Amino acid sequence: MATATITSKGQITIPAQVRIDMGLTAGDRVDFIRMEDGHYAVVPASHSIRSLKGIVPRPRKPVSLGDMQEAIAAGAARE
In this structure, what are the phi and psi dihedrals at residue 43, rounded to the nearest 5 degrees? -130, 150
Confidence at residue 18, expressed as pLDDT on a 0 to 100 scale? 93
Confidence at residue 47, expressed as pLDDT on a 0 to 100 scale? 66
Q: Is the pTM of this model over 0.75?
A: no
Confidence at residue 3, expressed as pLDDT on a 0 to 100 scale? 92
Domain boundaries defined on the chain: 16-78
Confidence at residue 48, expressed as pLDDT on a 0 to 100 scale? 65
Q: CB-based contacts of 35: which residues, under 8 Å, 6+ apart?
A: 41
Give me the residues of the chain with pLDDT under 50, please: none
Confidence at residue 32, expressed as pLDDT on a 0 to 100 scale? 93
